[in-house]
Amino acid sequence: MRVIRAGLLVVAGAIVLSGCAGARADDEVVRVYSARHYDLETAFEQFVDETGTSVEFLYGTDAELRERIAAEGEDTLADVYMTVDAGNLALAAEAGIFQPLESETLEAAVPEELRDPGGSWYGLSMRARTIVYDPEDVDPSELSTYEALAGPEWRGRLCLRRSTNVYTQSLVASLIANHGHDRALEIVGGWADNARILNNDVAILENIAVDACDVGIANHYYLARELDDDPEFPVELFWANQDAGGVHVNVSGAGVTAEADDPDLAARLLEWLATDGQEAFVAGNHEYPVNPDVAPDGLIAGFGGFVTDPLSAAEFGALNAAAVKLMAEAGYQ
Amino acid sequence: MSAPDGPVLELEEVTKRYGGVTALDRVSIGARRGELLAVVGPSGCGKTTLLQVIAGLTDVDAGRVAIGGRVVAGAGAWVPPERRRAGVVFQEHALFPHLTVADNVGFGLPRAADRRTRCAEALDLVRLGHLARRYPHELSGGEQQRVALARALAPRPAVVLLDEPFSNLDANLRLQLRQETATVLRASDATAVFVTHDRQEALSLGDRVAVLNDGALEQVDHPAVVFHTPRTRFVATFIGEADLLAGDVSDGVAHTVVGALAVTGVGADGPVDVMVRPHEVVVDVVREANATVGHSEFRGAHVLHVLALDAGGELRCEVPHTRALDQGARVRVTVDASHRLAAFPAVNRPTSSPAGTAPGG
Amino acid sequence: MPAREARRGGRRSWRVATALIAAFVVVPVALVASSVLTPDREIWRFLWQTGLARMVGATVVLMVGVVVGTLVLGGGLAWLVAAYRFPGRRVFSWLLVLPMAVPSYVLAFVAVYMLDAPGPVQTAARSVFGLDVRIAPRGMVLAVLVLSVALYPYVYLLARAALSEQAAVTYGAARTLGLGPAQAAWRVVLPMARPSLAAGGALVAMETLTDFATIQYFNVETVSVAVYQVWNGMFDRPAATQLAAIVLVFAITVIAVERALRGRARYHQRGGAGPRVEPVTLTGWSRWAASAVCGLVVGVGFVVPALRLLGWSSVSVLGVGAGGFDPRYASYLGNSVLVAAVAAVLCVAAAGVVVNAVRLTPDRATRGLARLTTIGYAVPGPVVAIGILLVLAGVDAALDVVGLDLGATLITGSLVGLVAAYVIRFLAPAANSLEASLDKVTPAMTMSALTLGAAPRQVVQRIHLPLIRSGVGVGLVLVAVDALKELPVMLLLRPFGFSTLAVWVYELASESLWDLVGLPALTIVAVATVPVVVLFRGTLRVDVDGGSA
């Protein structure tokens, strides 16, 4: 008996102890479950300074956070769910995680195609996944589309990111949406034959820089970061599919959760990020702003203008599973 | 025995099974206050199980165990080992390595006022008071075993159980420690049950000797009785060297090839095997010979001769080394026992007449 | 009757406590496993089409490869150090266990960094030697190599223990019968060391099976990787759970094989008072070869990663590179320590109850329950995590009914779920070290204490605990280090705003943010090194005269 009593005491103590490490009282706080982990405190610090509302973060991957919010149900502490991929936004909306917002500010700041028609979520920054290449070994005239990279002339010269990464999956999803399953399978199969598969975009860029491959597909801001560090970085950017529908673009966005404690406060954060804070928000990571009144930062402005594939976040989300399956079928790791 | 000091320990029809094996088969035995009961038998006979049952380290399947008049096992009762007041001395002394000798000995004593005195007493009993502050690993094997004994005795248990406590020691030490232990036990008036596979030990130490075979109790009695008048063949051959001489008994006398022998232990007349021990066999070269000396075994003070009887069969005899015989010598064999010899009804032999001997253990 | 009550009171609470702990461990896992009972044909077809067969094959190949690799490396090195004399033997004998302080995912990303086309090795090859090499270091072979180097210390430890206790005497006997050192090793020592090698191999197999972070760097996809990917990439918990069931099947197979190989050997330390045979002094090139092999292994498994991390750390600490010193470091460090400490204490306490219960009430039921409590080690992290979430949700629902609305605090606001998951996962190593220590306390000692009048609880307090102090210490350290390095459960169950060094390292490494990853990774390695050195340096070091400690 004493053993059991002692055990219960220990457990109770642990709960109390760990409770202290957990949630604090609700003052003016917005809690963000965010999949972004690019040093974004600076942008939010401004929000805190300007409004006096503090912001707390829980980081994770898109899917983990979504699962978590779903599991927590009505007890969730999340006020805002922020992702790095549009597909996740669509799926979250479908799962009822968001509550629709009616905000003129947001509707004005974020173009229609970059937000949910029902107002569940809003894109806050844009990232283009496009072709990067080694200017010494590749002439820009040789480049055109993503699809073309599946051709035999690129065998052994291509570096691509793993199939497990959400950016790759969304790109493949867009291929399926644009070309249908069979053609997409052909393309991805060609990629798989041609490419060495690397862990992340930084590895892709670095491999190109040392001539390990000639061409790759990466998110634009990774190149921007490298150029930030080293303006002489020997890799250049090419806007893919400019004559064939537009370069693949994704948004990082957010929505207010259905069970948020203070939806208005959360909405204010989103509105701020899309307007007053937009510049700071995107500048931190060299992303493109969604707000047409905000100009991109100098470095990426240097990449030039580009035509984008009209974003359909719903399609990224809906086709994600198909994309994963397709990549497995095609032998793309 | 319902004497004024009734039995301190009582086992009644105790049975214990392990899977398909019966370790104890309806064993009934008791020990009186101050008695030293030696339990002996071959390996696997159940003697360790017996101790465990008494100590409460294992339960019984049938029967009853009572200590100090209180039923501790069986008949719906169960007293855990820590409440039974049965001290145990194990084969591997099992002293607590992180405690001093004094703390080991005092372990079983409640925080009573006389704890230190009692501790000192127990250590004095085994004459190791001077080692009180040592640690077990600093003691020799013999000293460790003595401390274990003192530790078991200190709380004044109702019964002390010793499980082959000397088998880990070398021969000389064993003999010495054996005697000391017996002395200590008697000096403290303890009731003890002592388990061993060594028959010499059992015979020399026990007030009574119990012989176990395959879980069954074959005989329990004073050492002399068990030795001279074993109740079964097994006891006869286990407790000492024995040869079995064929004979025909009538009216308490068995007629054998070496003469007429007074026997006990058989009811009806008929063919029997008479148990004869080597030291009871007498040889002389003077009278008419009826046997030839075969090979011999030197045993220091004595010599064991194997004698081939003319009438068939063999007997062994033990003679002092001064009277050793040569191989091939012709001798007359007789049996000289100061007591009636044990005899067992013969098996598988036709009723008529002595056809020789059946050599035993 | 009062006598019967007495028996129940003393021992039953130990049995009940063990049963409670077993239930605590089993229920979350069972909840998840039970979802397998309703298999969804859709999911299975989907899984099959996305290459389930390939993943299962990869899992088998990886496990077999790593087990063989660690047996050869760990067993071979243990034998080398025990049986031969060569320069540096004394110091290598304990240095060889240092790679245990480097988490396998750290070793993996350092390896990838070093060996990748832009990395230092290939760059040097190109510039210094003029070799035109630009390969991408991926694939099964490299994965097996890296995991073998990361995990061999487990086998090394167990092999050293076996060699120093049980095998020394028979080895000596074999030598006197004319067998040379190698022959004696092969024919006599190896069979005797089989239980320890089997245990080490099983441990390694489990680690490999449940790992998903390390092998992802090499593009190897095992079933555990698939579990995690399906979860994250396809937003599909039911499919992930079904995959997890396959992992469980593998785990059970490993346990069964180990049990079969181990036979009925137990781990009682015998006196071992036989004569020790002098180690053979190597001469000529072989002595330098021996030193070189040891040096290479320690270098690759510990020194190179540590130096690389040190280099990166100095960049961030001195604020030279892009990252600068990140102030989040301090809070993550504190969090890591807090979780590790709480998990260690609870684990060892629970393990203490179980181990002592088995000693005090050695019946089949208690032993079976005790074995159940250790299954958590074999269950993949995500499975445990989901199970815990389900349990907590259930508890919360129950409490709601009663009127207590803990809700968010319970599920996401506190460490309860996380610590509970860690206790489930790490009960096994704690129990193993306590058990090994308790083996020193013979059953006769326990029985003596009982017959001298001590109630079971007092026996534990006065006899068992003082004598197993070293086991308690080892257990605390092992669990704390494991918790510090752990990833998957933390990723799923950490409370709001709570992150640790391990999670941070993982995130930084997957984005190749090398300058930032140095300091936190180095911290993990440094913290893990201290107990490894303290615990094992004494027991592993060989004495000057040649005998093993």
Q: What is the pLDDT of residue B269?
A: 82
Number of domains in chain B: 2
Name the residue among A14, A164, A212 with its Cβ closest to that of C233: A164
Q: What is the pLDDT of residue C304?
A: 95
pLDDT band for position C232 (cuts 50, 70, 90): low
CATH number at B281 reads 2.40.50.140
Tell me what the pLDDT averaged over chain C comes to.
80
- Nearest Cα to A208, choosing from A143, A150, A138? A138
Q: Kindly state whether residue B62 falls inside one of the protein's structural domains.
A: yes
B57 has a chain C CB within 8 A of its CB = yes
Q: Find the domain containing B67 and state its range.
A: 9-85+157-233
Please give the share of chain C, as a percent, with pLDDT higher than 70.
83
Q: What is the 3-state secondary structure (H, E, C) of C289-352?
A: HHHHHHHHHHHHHHHHHHHHHHHHHHHHHCCCCCCCCCCHHHHHHHHHHHHHHHHHHHHHHHHH
Which residues on chain B are in Cβ contact (under 8 Å) with C444?
90-92, 94
For the record, the structure tokens of A256 come out as 């207010």
Contact across the interface for A64 and C136, Cβ inside 8 Å: no
For the record, the structure tokens of C163 come out as 């060699």
ipTM over 0.90: no
Q: Are residues B206 and B68 in the same domain?
A: yes
Q: What is the pLDDT of residue C121?
A: 86
Q: How far apart are CA C493 and CA A157, in angstroms?
A: 42
Contact across the interface for A320 and C233, Cβ inside 8 Å: yes
Whether C13 contacts A1, CB under 8 Å: yes
Contact across the interface for C353 and A209, Cβ inside 8 Å: no
Q: Are residues B30 and B165 in the same domain?
A: yes
Residue of C13, C234, C235, C338 to mutate, interface with A, max A Cβ within 10 Å: C235
- The Cα of C414 is separated from the nearest Cα of chain A by a number of Å equal to 5
Q: Are residues B71 and B178 in the same domain?
A: yes
Q: What is the pLDDT of residue C151?
A: 94
Which residues on chain C are in Cβ contact (under 8 Å) with B91?
444
Half-sphere exposure of B150 (CA within 13 A, CB side): 27
Contact across the interface for C7 and B91, Cβ inside 8 Å: no
- The pLDDT tens digits of the residues spanning A242-251 come to 888 889 999 9
Inter-axis angle of helices C304-317 and C104-115, nearest 10: 80
C237 has a chain A CB within 8 A of its CB = yes
A90 dihedral zone (left: phi>0; alpha: psi -120 to 50; beta): alpha
Q: How far apart are CA C221 and CA C227, in angstroms?
A: 10
Find the closest chain B residue to C361 by CA distance. Answer: B57
Model confidence at B356: pLDDT above 60: no
Find the closest chain C residue to A199 by CA distance. Answer: C217
Contact across the interface for C451 and B87, Cβ inside 8 Å: yes
Which residues on chain A are in Cβ contact (under 8 Å) with C236?
321
3-state SS assignment for residue B323: helix
Q: Are residues B78 and B166 in the same domain?
A: yes
Residues A127-140 have a mean pLDDT of 92
Q: Are residues B248 and B179 in the same domain?
A: no
Q: How far apart are CA C283 and CA C89, in angstroms?
A: 14
Q: What is the pLDDT of residue B220?
A: 93
Kind and range of the H or E run holding B333: strand B330-335
Query: Residues 264-293, chain C: which have Cβ within 8 Å of A?
Result: none
Whether C427 contacts C469, CB under 8 Å: no
Strand intervals (E) in C210-301: 280-281
A2 has a chain C CB within 8 A of its CB = yes
Q: What is the pLDDT of residue A54?
A: 85
The amino acid at residue C172 is: G
B151 has a chain C CB within 8 A of its CB = yes
Q: How far apart are CA C430 and CA C472, in angstroms?
A: 8
Q: How far apart are CA B30 and CA B217, in angstroms?
A: 12
Contact across the interface for C466 and B98, Cβ inside 8 Å: yes
Residue spans per domain, chain C = 326-510
Q: Are residues B60 and B169 in the same domain?
A: yes
Residue of B57, B107, B111, B156 to mutate, interface with C, max C Cβ within 10 Å: B107
Backbone CA torsion sign across C475, C481, C483, C486: negative
- The Cα of A212 is separated from the nearest Cα of chain C by a number of Å equal to 5
Q: Kindly state whether residue B335 falls inside one of the protein's structural domains.
A: yes
Contact across the interface for C49 and A22, Cβ inside 8 Å: no
- The pLDDT tens digits of the residues spanning B129-176 come to 899 999 998 998 889 999 999 999 998 889 999 998 888 788 888 888
* DSSP conformational letter for A150: G
Dmax over Cα atoms in chain C, in whole Å? 91
Which residues on chain C are in Cβ contact (under 8 Å) with A68?
412, 492
Q: Kindly state whether residue B217 falls inside one of the protein's structural domains.
A: yes
Q: Are residues B176 and B291 in the same domain?
A: no
CATH number at B175 reads 3.40.50.300
Q: What is the pLDDT of residue A52?
A: 84
pLDDT band for position C390 (cuts 50, 70, 90): confident
Q: What share of chain A is helix, strand, coil (3-state, %, to 5)?
A: 50, 20, 35
Q: What is the pLDDT of residue A117?
A: 87
- The pLDDT tens digits of the residues spanning C311-340 come to 998 887 776 544 456 777 888 888 899 999
Name the residue among A18, A209, A210 with its Cβ closest to that of C419: A18
- Nearest Cα to B63, choosing from B20, B21, B23, B19? B23
Q: What is the 3-state secondary structure (H, E, C) of C31-57?
A: HHHHHHHCCCHHHHHHHHHCCHHHHHH
The amino acid at residue A202 is: V
Contact across the interface for A22 and C322, Cβ inside 8 Å: no
Q: What is the pLDDT of residue C364?
A: 84
Q: Are residues B251 and B283 in the same domain?
A: yes
Range with the poorest average pLDDT among A33-42, A151-160, A308-317, B72-81: A33-42
Model confidence at C545: pLDDT above 50: no
Which residues on chain C are in Cβ contact (under 8 Å) with A62?
232
Contact across the interface for C136 and A3, Cβ inside 8 Å: no
Phi, psi for A269 (deg, rounded to 5): -60, -45
Q: What is the pLDDT of residue A24?
A: 44
Q: Are residues B212 and B161 in the same domain?
A: yes
- The Cα of A291 is separated from the nearest Cα of chain C by a number of Å equal to 27
Q: What is the pLDDT of residue C377?
A: 78
Contact across the interface for C4 and B82, Cβ inside 8 Å: no
Sheet holding B62-67, edge to edge: B21-32, B7-18, B62-67, B70-74, B77-78
Q: Are residues B194 and B276 in the same domain?
A: no
Which residues on chain A are in Cβ contact (under 8 Å) with C136?
196-198, 207, 212
Phi, psi for B77 (deg, rounded to 5): -100, 155
Do B and C make contact via 3 or more CB pairs under 8 A? The reply is yes
For chain A, the chains sharing at least 3 beta-carbon pairs closer than 8 angstroms are C
Tell me what the pLDDT averaged over chain B comes to.
86
- Radius of gyration of chain B measured on its C-alpha atoms: 24
- The pLDDT tens digits of the residues spanning B12-67 come to 999 999 888 888 999 999 999 999 999 999 888 888 899 999 988 888 889 999 99
Residue of C451, C460, C472 to mutate, interface with B, max B Cβ within 10 Å: C451
Q: Kindly state whether residue B115 falls inside one of the protein's structural domains.
A: no
pLDDT band for position C166 (cuts 50, 70, 90): low
Contact across the interface for C447 and B81, Cβ inside 8 Å: yes
- The Cα of A305 is separated from the nearest Cα of chain C by a number of Å equal to 27
Phi, psi for B66 (deg, rounded to 5): -130, 135
For chain B, the chains sharing at least 3 beta-carbon pairs closer than 8 angstroms are C
B16 has a chain C CB within 8 A of its CB = no
Residues A183-204 have a mean pLDDT of 92
Which residues on chain B are in Cβ contact (under 8 Å) with C467?
96-98
Q: How far apart are CA C326 and CA C348, in angstroms?
A: 34
Range with the poorest average pLDDT among A101-115, B267-281, B312-326, C261-275: C261-275
B110 has a chain C CB within 8 A of its CB = yes
Q: How far apart are CA B226 and CA B240, in angstroms?
A: 10
Q: Are residues B184 and B79 in the same domain?
A: yes
Please give the share of chain C, as a percent, with pLDDT higher than 90.
21
Contact across the interface for C454 and B107, Cβ inside 8 Å: yes
**C27 exposed, middle or buried (CB, 10 Å; 0-12, 13-18, 19+)?**
middle
Q: What is the pLDDT of residue B360?
A: 42
- Nearest Cα to A61, choosing from A92, A94, A30, A85? A85
**B198 exposed, middle or buried (CB, 10 Å; 0-12, 13-18, 19+)?**
middle
Model confidence at B118: pLDDT above 70: yes
Inter-axis angle of helices C104-115 and C120-127, nearest 10: 20
Q: What is the pLDDT of residue A192?
A: 92
- The Cα of B206 is separated from the nearest Cα of chain C by a number of Å equal to 23
- The pLDDT tens digits of the residues spanning A251-274 come to 999 999 998 888 888 999 999 989
Residues 6+ apart with CB under 8 A from C23: none
Find the closest chain B residue to C1 by CA distance. Answer: B77
Which residues on chain B are in Cβ contact (under 8 Å) with C462?
107
Q: Best-predicted range by mean pLDDT among A176-180, B6-10, C193-197, C505-509?
A: A176-180
Q: How far apart are CA B249 and CA B274, in angstroms?
A: 9
pLDDT band for position B353 (cuts 50, 70, 90): very low
Residue of C52, C345, C354, C512 to mutate, interface with A, max A Cβ within 10 Å: C512
Find the closest chain C residue to A69 by CA distance. Answer: C412
Contact across the interface for B96 and C445, Cβ inside 8 Å: yes
- Using the CB atoms, write b or e for B313-329: b if 16+ within 10 Å: bebbbbbeeeeebeeee
Query: Residues 32-51, chain C: which have Cβ within 8 Å of A?
Result: 46, 49-51
Q: In this predicted model, which residue has the larger pLDDT, C390 or A193?
A: A193
Query: Residues 209-268, chain A: which have Cβ within 8 Å of C?
Result: 209-213, 228-229
Q: Are residues B288 and B186 in the same domain?
A: no
Q: Best-predicted range by mean pLDDT among C46-50, C185-189, C515-519?
A: C515-519
- Nearest Cα to C451, choosing from B147, B60, B11, B84? B84
The amino acid at residue B235 is: V
Residues C483-490 have a mean pLDDT of 83
Q: What is the pLDDT of residue B358?
A: 44
Find the closest chain A residue to C405 by CA distance. Answer: A75
Inter-chain Cβ pairs, chain A and chain C, closer than 8 A: 187
Name the residue among A75, A321, A328 with its Cβ closest to that of C51: A328
Which residues on chain B are in Cβ contact (under 8 Å) with C457?
none
pLDDT band for position C403 (cuts 50, 70, 90): confident
- The distance in angstroms from the start CA to the end CA of chain C is 54
Q: What is the pLDDT of residue A34?
A: 87
Q: Kindly state whether residue B133 falls inside one of the protein's structural domains.
A: no
Q: Kindly state whether residue B100 falls inside one of the protein's structural domains.
A: no
Q: What fold, for C326-510?
A: MetI-like fold (1.10.3720)
Q: What is the pLDDT of residue C511?
A: 82
For the record, the structure tokens of B345 come out as 């009804």
Q: How far apart are CA B15 and CA B59, in angstroms?
A: 10
Residues C85-113 have a mean pLDDT of 91
Q: What share of chain B is helix, strand, coil (3-state, %, to 5)?
A: 25, 35, 40
Q: How far apart are CA C350 and CA C430, in angstroms?
A: 9
Residues C23-29 have a mean pLDDT of 88
Q: What is the pLDDT of residue A312?
A: 76
pTM of the predicted model over 0.80 = no
Tell me what the pLDDT averaged over chain A comes to.
85
The amino acid at residue C169 is: V
Kind and range of the H or E run holding B296: strand B291-299
Q: What is the pLDDT of residue C320?
A: 53
User: Do the bridges between strand B192-196 and strand B36-40 make them parallel or antiparallel, or are there none, so unpaired?
Assistant: parallel
Kind and range of the H or E run holding C190: helix C190-192
Do B and A make contact via 3 or more CB pairs under 8 A? The reply is no
Q: What is the pLDDT of residue A254?
A: 93
